[in-house]
Every structure is written in C-alpha cells, then in structure tokens.
A and B are shown apart, each in its own frame.
Chain A
Amino acid sequence: MKTQLIEIKNGNTKLLFDKPGTYVVYFSNISGKISCKITSEKVKLYMIGLYDMNNSDKYSIQTEQIHTSPHSFSDLYILSLVRDTSSFIFSGLIRIEKNAQHTHAYQKNQNILLSKGGFVDSRPILEILADDVFCTHGSTSGPLSQDQLYYLRTKGLSKDAAEKASIEGLKSLVYERLESYKVIKFIKL
C-alpha cells in the first residue's frame, strides 16, 4: 500500500482516516485547526508542521489526533522557527477514546526562539480514556543549541553562517522525516 501524502493549505481542515494505510499530513505556515480522526484499525498517521517565521508573522494552529478505534498509530511533529517579533501559538490534542486500545500516539513540538521579541505559546494536551496504550508528548522551547553553534564556529563558520546552518539542519530534519515515510514526489517549499 502506497503512503498517501496530504498537503494542507486550508487552515481549517477535518480529516477522517477510516481505512487502513499509511498517511502523511503536511502543513506549513498556516493558522487554524487541523483535526485528524482515526476510526479504522491499522492506520499509521504522520503529521508534520513547519513554521518558518519572520518579522511580525503570527500563526495560531490547533491540531487534533483523535483515536476511536484500536491498533492505530499517530505521530505529530511541529517545528517552529521564531524570528524578529513573530509569535507561534500551538495547541495539540491527542485524545484516545475508550475503545481505542493498543494505540500508540506521539507528539513533539520544537520551538526555536531566534530573537528577543519572539513569543511562543505551546499547549500539548493529552486526554486518555483507554489503558492499554502508549502515549507521549514533548515540547521544548529555547534558542539554537549553543553546543552546536560553538562546534560549527570552531570549524570556521561565522556566527550568522553557523546559525543559518543550524536552522537549515533543523528544517532538513523535517524533510528527512517526510522522505523517510516514503512519500514520493515531495517538493521542498
């Protein structure tokens, strides 16, 4: 079964996954609410969001991973790069209903604050009503890794170049994820 890529351009989208399969949902720099409901067994859902922000960009995004049937998997990864006076507001819900036993659900939100005036509001939410599941979420916010920047500079890169390289590195991790899900014909934005 081929992996299906769904690229979301409209901020308010409701997706229903009612057939087994592997799906990849990708979105970038949009505000709104993306709700993914998994009602079938054997669904593998990857959601990836990339927020590359400048100036006074403001994005507020809400995501939902809702599992109502057993034996499924969902994994959300959102990376935000907050520059200048931009702000990123994120709220991500993982909800596992009573019958959705043997669900594995993951969520990771990584926020890189690159400027003094940036702002991040992150709310990863879990509502778990089934017990035989495994569910984890994580959210980290902070500047670029100082260790990494230092390492690059000792290789001769200027401060700017080191930062740029680190940021590109983080973005390419997003693209690598997409590629690893065997999504063919993915075009970098």
Chain B
Amino acid sequence: MSKVRVLVGTKKGAFILTADGKRQNWEVSGPHFAGWEMYHLKGSPVDPNRIYASQTSGWFGQIIQRSDDGGKTWNTPGSSPEELKSPDGMMPKGESNKFIYEGEPGKHLWYDGTPHPWEFKRIWHIEPSTTDPDTAFAGAEDAAIFKTTDGGKTWKELPGLRHAKSQLWQPGAGGMAVHTILLDPKNEKRIYVAISAGGCFRTDDGGKTWKPITKGLKSPYELPDPDAEVGHCVHRIALHPSKPDVLFMQKHWDVLRTDNAGEQWTEVSGNLPSDFGFPIDVNFNEPETIYVVPITSDSLHYPPEGKLRVYRSKTGGGEWEGLTKGLPQKDCYVNVLRDAMAVDQLDKCGIYFGTTGGQVYCSPDGGDTWNAIVRDLPAVYSVEVQTLK
C-alpha cells in the first residue's frame, strides 16, 4: 500500500509526518535539529530515502544535512560515521556548508537604492535532481544558485544567474533569495528560478546562461518602468511534470500563467478575494487544477476576514472556488509561506500546507475537505511530501 511522508521545516526544527494512503492517521517524528531554523527539506525523486535539509542559524550559519534512510538518521554530507573512520586516514573536508560565490561577487541594490556587496546568508530551498540522487541545486540568500554533484559534500555556484542584470536586484522585506527552483523533467538543461524582488529566470543550457522571463508581469507600485525585466517580486512558481512549458505564478500581487515557458505571462487572478499570496501548486492528476491561499495584502499578512481558505481553479486560473471544509472560518490570522504547500502523487491527489501558526493541514481529496495533521508546531517555513510506493 502506498504511503506518504511529509517533510516539514519550521522555525525551531524539522518534523516528519507519515501516513498510509488514506492519509487519516498520522505519526509525527521530531523535532529533528531542535532549535534550528529548518528552511527546507526535500527528498530525491529517484531515491526517496535520500533527503536533503537546509539547517540554518543566525549564530552558527548554514548547515546542510542529508539522510540516506528516509529521515531516520542524518549526517552532514561527508561526515557519516563510516567516512569519519575512513581506512586511508583522510579526514572529511567539512565543506558541505561552504557556499562561496564564484569570482568577485559584485554588488546588488540595497534597500535605499545604493550598491551593496553580495553576502551569503542561508539556503532557502534545495531541489534534488530528477535523475541522480547525488545531484541537487540550492537556492541561496543573497540570491544565487549552487549545485552539488557529490551528494552535498561540496557545492559550486552557477554564477551565470548573477549575470542576469543582478546589479538591479533589490531585497524585499524578507531578504533577497532564490526561493524556488523548478527542474524541467523533460529537458535537464532547462531550469527555472524565482527570486523575491529579483524576478523569474530561465536557463536552457544547464545553468551557464540565464535570462529574465517576466514579459507580461505588471508591478506598477514597485516598478514604475512597465518594461522592467528584473525586480518583480515573484513569490512562487509551479509546474506540472507533464506540461513543463506551462508555469503558474503567485506574484506579490497577481496570479499568472504562461504557456510558453515564461516568454509571455497572462494574469489569471479572476475572482480571487485577494490576489496577494505566497504559495501556488498544481494537482498531480489534473495539470490545469491549481491552488493558492489568498492573503489580505502586503500590509496584512493574514487571510481576508480571518477565514483560512484555499482557492482552487480547475481551469488553470481565472475561475476560482474557495475551499473551506475543515479550515478555520473565523479568527484565523496566520500566514502560509511560499514553500509551505505541496501535493502528493496519489489518486485522489493530496494537498498539504503549513502555517505560521504551526498547523499543517492535509486534504486527501484534492482540496474538498481538510484536516489538521498537527496544530502546534513552531511557525512552518516549508512543506514537502513524498509518495512512497
């Protein structure tokens, strides 16, 4: 029987939630890495026991952790007990947390519009390869993308991204990070990234060169120039693996889609009660069924009217329905962060999201009904789900 494993990163540790395919009875494991900010955990699509995790701290910096047994045990890559006792006497290098920008890092715009040097702060997101468990990409703050090909022991920047007009990128209130990395499952040379207050970018050569893909985005209050290629505050992008040229975007304001790999975007906010929000995701069984969580505004980071509602469109945007069954419909003032929504691969598709109030909700039926798996975790930063056969 199928199982699901939900990987939850929170402000004070990581939690792993498991259930069978009915997704009704859950086991909770954690906190793992108690007390640390866990920005993201994600499993390899080709080896589900291989999970990467970003562990970070304002005091001690960035740590990368890896599990090879589905989250039961963890090691910083290169320092497993076996490697520490290596017969040749070589000590592990301890470079799994070494993220150094290539060459002269240069400067981006600071909040006040002055140039500011690039400074590495943390990894927001890890995206394992769709074909090789030892290969993964990491999205950094300050914005950059790094790649490992040795299971996370060492990381190397793909500096071409920062050649895409990065002198004009400027941090938003949450910092300036590569927070989304999408790998085209049909073309391993094609990668999409999104950067808060930087924009959306695509490479077609495996990361050597990148171009902004922002035509059709409108951000009149933040970017008076209607033709600005960079600087749009893209909150999240998502794709369905069967249609990787179709992307959906939750921008600072506006929900949009593209049908040609980002060459042109069209707004599909339709009848949403607010088109401000953070996550967006696609139903695994229905490539035109998408989900967002409307948030009141950029000044009020909680749901409109205190009602936590997921909105679903079965038409790829434009026409939306509010999903409320099992979600609090009064006095709810939590937020749902950009990496805190995920979908499983069962039929019916399970939808999951976590809140800044510490709840993780699951819908085992594509959004029709919802249950809280847990209610009292620390603020949830990220949610991923693995479907285990």
Q: Report whether chain A binds chain B.
A: no
**CB within 8 Å of A: which residues of B?**
none
Which A residues lie at the B interface, using CB under 8 A? none
